[in-house]
Structure 1
């Protein structure tokens, strides 16, 4: 199926009022898809339609969407086309209302021009190569955040160039689920899996994958939850992909809660207000959310202090006590600098109240602050770019989002210099730890929730292969020849604390040298994980990928049945302009 040109499919809406049109969200949204240029695609238009009008999310639960989830690429393209055409009449109504105070919002549809974008990211250089002889040990904290992937998806579907600093490859990889086994021992919160494959972009290296999978907890079996929704209702949240989507996302979460869960709602703009406190009634919660409107400045710091106070007032011993912050991160009143906010989170996290951050919107999105405070708050960070993503994070993965099964989880890999000469860790640039931090229980690290998975990939150079780093000229600087020893290429160590404990526990898992000898090109589940890693690194400008391009990444990912994996393949093609013309 082929669509007509975007200029003919999607009308341009001006700001003239229509007396017969109802404005769904009470604010006019200027819709001009033609300005997006050649990167506009039907899938992006459908996603934009859902972002503009979250009430249209019912489309995603329709029979067409079921077909979309269970079918291959052909049905995916057809469904996107049908959905886009079905939504055009509603898109036409989107610009017909009057915004509060006569203001009009363009940001929901039109990205800021180059150089005017105020989004903030805390980028890090690509991880360097290490000589095993000099640095045999690699240590990092786990990361279960997924915000970078959803944010990158938003940019690609919107026709924007993805800035390298917005990409955290580990979050791209950990967005997806893999075929890791459940833990065998109920006293150990997660399983540890290792495997090795030949590197698709470098036949002289190998990829060591380390996979963790936490035990699952049914919704009926998790502890009761004390949640504080901390909602930004400032003027920067008026766009349709911000507060309207926040209201729908948190309503989704409210629907998924149990009668013994307690919900409070703290809102903030120029002032802080507690709308609901300790409620067990989903109808009351949803009514309060439905009445929210955006205006004013952003007193994020005082609101966070109020949220912590509220969470402590309704604290459930042995339960889930968590703040869920929903914002674009644009704090501009009171305690607003990142360092002060981080210090506040450090002071409060020891009380057993964790912090999840949900990012929304574009143009002024403060990813750097959102990720940093979630990590310090012993929580997680997600970016919500659509009603589908809200359902994934706050319904399908609710136990993972809320219920922590292991705290301060650290990974340490010691390589055997007899079998591995060089290595590099793919991603985790902002999660690195010093070797001595591994056994220091005072050092904060990452948390794992029920059912969470964590994947780490090392690219390694087998001893005797050329590698990235040239041999040293002088004998004293060269790595000594080491006998092969006991046939292990590495030892993987993990430290973690159970939620109610203060002393860490240790897991050790050797990696047999036979895996290195038997390595072949990645297949199936491993191939997909490697494809996602390459996608992230390509977006970051990693020169060690050589000529391995987006088309190669899509081929490596292969044909997929899962909806989210299908979408990834399309994103890889879109990034490389390798899709069908109507998808560009």
Structure 2
């Protein structure tokens, strides 16, 4: 495993990488040769019959896929580019749904958010940038089997001896009728109480509520001498009628702009079940309304989801396009974790518009597939375009990207180089860091490696892939995965891994029951 902080580029992006491509479907493992879309990079490729590389098909019309005139040379795409994502809401919500005795809907499962919910133990950088770690392990035996390659990015943890910049936070609270579900608004009150108590006297907050309309309850107010006023405002929250998320977000950004402070972290904190049912309900349209506030003033959005019924897609889209992140809070313990233990990560920034690009070596790599990050894909040629949105990352965050990688038989030497690029939050200056990995680093067997955190990462990724109906190479069945998670929980003495094992066991029972359900006859069909 190699670590690096070099600012040299990982290699030039190939602007024509998604042009005409030759499809050799017999050489591809089903589900592991995804192609890019909308100009995004391809995530898989295979060797042709002569052993030479050919790219996965570009996103063309079905009757054009695989067509190539004799003598034309395709431009194989060995790049994978995506915006960083520190969201964890998908995993938190999946645990909640499983705990309620149901399987999560596949479209709510995002593997990167499962993976990023767990400690990784990466080496931290000495400065305010990123460390880059690249490692992996084999998922099976034999030359034609696959490996998991892990790209790990980490920021320096918050330093208590160095004061953070002040925070100006606008709380946007959903008080619609759906928030009347037992414990839902109570949990929001608890979360806000935790957060407000953790903030400093030189921080300031505003409070906006929304149901069918939005209202400013408390304009931007410094906490010094006003904690009681804010606490009483939070305690007075009561549910009302419809859910006009757009009105709440728009009013919240108006208040954030009005109370914006130079040199502070200016952020909107949306607490909601995101079940929009009135007004504008499309995330992109909502964000368009407050676009100038986001771009001109750099105000970011932190989404906190609650409730057994939860508008996951809307909240995730709002946060991704609002230059922020999301989490899901199911109970008071999670509220304390988010707003007490992890407070610095949510009110400070280490990096703006952070993107990663992984360049695979065509001489050693036969196929690769990025696991997750579909919603965070970035065109390869936009990696160093700093006007293209990336992800915002706070202190102490880790970001992990897992790839299923198939090496060429007998491959040795360089496998991949990972580069992360971001803007310094204070100076807006672009910076980069790199790390790389060699083939011999992938020789160890996944379940035999001494790196327990790599095994936890793989367990979380496999679990997510099973829930969304994927076919990752080397995926154990749920019973085996639960057993491995139990063993890892004991070895790491990590309660979060024990809860992962519980969730996998719950899914195994539910999927087993679902598999035994008789098929429902179609209308007009006889039993």
TM-score, shorter chain, exceeding 0.5: yes
1:35-63 residue CA offsets vs partner (Å, 9 max, x unmatched):
xxxxxxxxxxxxxxxxxxxxxxxxxxxxx
Counterpart in 1 of 2:501? 569
Residue 225 of structure 1 pairs with residue 167 of structure 2: yes
Alignment of 1:462-473 (within 5 A): 462-464=407-409
Residue 491 of structure 1 pairs with residue 436 of structure 2: no
Counterpart in 2 of 1:344? 289
Q: Secondary structure at the match of 2:509?
A: coil
Q: Secondary structure at the match of 1:165?
A: helix
Q: Secondary structure at the match of 1:266?
A: strand
User: Please, what is the CA RMSD of the aligned residues?
Assistant: 2.3
Q: 1:246 to 1:219 in 2, by over 3 A?
A: farther
8 Å CA contact retained: 2:212, 2:241: yes
Residue 460 of structure 2, aligned match among 514, 532, 548: 532
Task: Tell me the distance in 1 between the aligned counterparts of 2:155 and 2:122.
Answer: 10
Please state how far the C-alpha of 1:405 moved relative to its aligned partner: 0.7
Residue 193 of structure 1, aligned match among 129, 133, 149: 133
1:251-309 residue CA offsets vs partner (Å, 9 max, x unmatched):
11111111111011111123322212214133222211111110122333232222112
Task: Tell me the distance in 2 between the aligned counterparts of 1:218 and 1:440.
Answer: 31
Task: Tell me the distance in 1 between the aligned counterparts of 2:138 and 2:107.
Answer: 28
Counterpart in 1 of 2:306? 360
Please list every run of 5 or more consecutive structure 2 residues that lacks an aligned counterpart in the other structure: 1-30, 35-42, 47-52, 56-76, 512-527
| More moved, 276-285 vs 226-235 | 276-285
Q: 1:234 to 1:126 in 2, by over 3 A?
A: farther
8 Å CA contact retained: 2:131, 2:433: no
1:441-489 residue CA offsets vs partner (Å, 9 max, x unmatched):
1110111111111011111111028xxxxxxxxxxxxxxxxx96xx311
8 Å CA contact retained: 2:482, 2:501: yes
Higher relative contact order (CA 8 A, sep 6+): 2
TM-score normalized by the length of structure 2 = 0.78
Task: Tell me the distance in 1 between the aligned counterparts of 2:140 and 2:258.
Answer: 54
Counterpart in 2 of 1:505? 431
Task: Tell me the distance in 1 between the aligned counterparts of 2:188 and 2:136.
Answer: 41
Please state how far the C-alpha of 1:546 moved relative to its aligned partner: 6.3
Task: Tell me the distance in 2 between the aligned counterparts of 1:432 and 1:144.
Answer: 14
8 Å CA contact retained: 2:140, 2:474: no
Q: Secondary structure at the match of 2:370?
A: strand
Q: 1:360 to 1:309 in 2, by over 3 A?
A: same
1:387-415 residue CA offsets vs partner (Å, 9 max, x unmatched):
11111111111111221110111111111
Residue 164 of structure 1, aligned match among 82, 106, 109: 106
Please state how far the C-alpha of 1:362 moved relative to its aligned partner: 2.6
Alignment of 1:107-506 (within 5 A): 128=34, 130-131=44-45, 133=53, 134=55, 135-184=77-126, 186=127, 188-199=128-139, 204-218=145-159, 221-277=163-219, 278-280=221-223, 281-350=226-295, 351-363=297-309, 365-464=310-409, 487-506=413-432
Task: Tell me the distance in 2 between the aligned counterparts of 1:525 and 1:543.
Answer: 22
Task: Tell me the distance in 2 between the aligned counterparts of 1:127 and 1:171.
Answer: 22
Task: Tell me the distance in 1 between the aligned counterparts of 2:353 and 2:278.
Answer: 32
Please state how far the C-alpha of 1:336 moved relative to its aligned partner: 3.3
Please state how far the C-alpha of 1:127 moved relative to its aligned partner: 7.4
Task: Tell me the distance in 2 between the aligned counterparts of 1:433 and 1:443.
Answer: 8
Task: Tell me the distance in 1 between the aligned counterparts of 2:473 and 2:445.
Answer: 19
1:43-97 residue CA offsets vs partner (Å, 9 max, x unmatched):
xxxxxxxxxxxxxxxxxxxxxxxxxxxxxxxxxxxxxxxxxxxxxxxxxxxxxxx
Task: Tell me the distance in 1 between the aligned counterparts of 2:264 and 2:350.
Answer: 12
Task: Tell me the distance in 1 between the aligned counterparts of 2:437 and 2:254.
Answer: 47
8 Å CA contact retained: 1:345, 1:373: no
Q: 1:342 to 1:292 in 2, by over 3 A?
A: same
Please state how far the C-alpha of 1:545 moved relative to its aligned partner: 4.5
Please state how far the C-alpha of 1:552 moved relative to its aligned partner: 1.9
Task: Tell me the distance in 1 between the aligned counterparts of 2:427 and 2:33.
Answer: 33
Counterpart in 2 of 1:542? 470
Please state how far the C-alpha of 1:200 moved relative to its aligned partner: 5.4
Task: Tell me the distance in 1 between the aligned counterparts of 2:164 and 2:323.
Answer: 18
Q: 1:569 to 1:148 in 2, by over 3 A?
A: same
Task: Tell me the distance in 2 between the aligned counterparts of 1:146 and 1:408.
Answer: 18
8 Å CA contact retained: 1:320, 1:402: yes
Q: 1:537 to 1:238 in 2, by over 3 A?
A: same
